[in-house]
Structure 1
Amino acid sequence: MIRIAVANQKGGVGKTTTAINLATALAATGWRTLIIDLDPQGNASTGLGIKQSQREYSSYELLRGDATLAECAIPTAVPRLDIVPATVDLSGAEIELIEFQDRLHRMQQALADAEAGQWDICLIDCPPSLGMLTLNALIAAESLIVPLQCEFFALEGLSQLLTTVERVRERFNQKLSILGVALTMFDRRNRLTDQVSDDVREVLGPVVFETVIPRNVRLSEAPSHGLPALIYDHRCAGSAAYIALARELIDRLPNVRKAA
């Protein structure tokens, strides 16, 4: 199972929207896809229409070892897309995990214990911080997608994230690599947007995806209906961009287990 963390310690950059819609696009092209909602806000769960009553087991129980990955994962309305939902209990996990000696490797162990062949790919939606939950995801993952809002302050946060990734690679997970940086909330009417985009591409080069995700009302509306934008309105500009981004993502993935 290919494991990808979707992370940025800055909030409001389109991280969960990116995770949901990329997962939907992958599932639509034949990938057996799993999302792990590792954000205590549970936005990925809500955005996929998972009600609180359906969250008997969550990523909280998964991290604590109180339930297996198979027990926590539940199907969504999207064929071939499952999710490990999040609950508010996860907000206390960072404190509770301190008592575990392997506290930074809990997610890695949970994924290692998963039944082989059940899913082709797993996206881990991280909280907007660089705390223990995000570190668990980075240590468990093989690669990282970084949604980056096209605004000046986002660049400052990116440097901090890259430093953290390098430290994780050196100390815990030598296989961790940055699969791509996805530019989000792109507004061609704003000259600063173009400037930020150019600066990021100049510094990071080909690691930045060619596809940019525009500011789009339909992307914002979709979660309130419990649907990915690709299903809520597959013809809107935001959905078209995420379909293109998914194509780029698939081209960057290992050749193993690629869907037809």
Structure 2
Amino acid sequence: MRLYPIEAGNFKLDGGAMFGVVPKSIWNRTNPADSNNMIDMAARCLLVEDGDRLILIDTGMGNKQSEKFFGYYYLWGDHSLDKSLQDIGFSRDDITDVFLTHLHFDHCGGCIEYNKDRSILIPAFKNATYWSNADHWQWAVEPNKREKASFLRENIQPIKESGQLQFIDIKNSTPFEESPLGFKVFFASGHTEKQMIPIIEYNGMTICFVADLIPTAGHLPLPYVMGYDTRPLLTLDEKELFLNLAANNNYYLFLEHDPNNQIITVQQTEKGVRLNESLSCNDIFK
């Protein structure tokens, strides 16, 4: 098995929304805001090369939305999914599986693109199976009013129409479920219903793609919960369970949204689970 970070782009989000009830005077120390109160965010995906399979975990925002849409998110930097794939010798057509942690636009927007004359929407990975789970899919296609702006029909419906969609079974095993992709999954429903956190065994290490359960290293303290989470009290419980497992078992946490910290480890302290070490993907994926 080989792992590769795939930098799909950078954007900005409101710092207050990203930290919920935590005062700016506190979160600004770890995630400094600009004059518009926006903080830097990454869309860092993960490519898993395992035998004949090439599995892409999440896809970033993609590029099909309007200039007005992207204007809300202050895109910055020169990263792109295609460039990141090309840099390691792959293309979209090589991808066999696209695993979606959840269907918010910044995680699945790159799944779908326009055809050459921009007349129809088609899968951006024509040879891939797309993986979600039935509970989250239903949650996304019939969205609540709070999340409706994050579940964009143009990102979701064409996946189903393509015939390339499959679901991960949920058997309510604890703490992790087996998946058909060769790694386990931790389900978390505080942010959105049945978000899937891949747990990958790699060279004697456990690599966890923590998606929006722990967006950045600044979100490690339990009360630091995003304003976007639909069930923040459930997030507290899920974070506590997961971070205790991570600290006690020396998991490596792959951060999707932190532009400065790619992988971190955590440790038990008197104040709870806190940052132990920040590592680059080059340190781990050798």
Is this a same-fold pair by TM over 0.5? Answer: no
Higher relative contact order (CA 8 A, sep 6+): 1
In the superposition, the TM-score normalised over structure 2's length comes to 0.33
In the superposition, the TM-score normalised over structure 1's length comes to 0.36
- Say which structure is richer in strand: 2
- Say which structure is richer in helix: 1
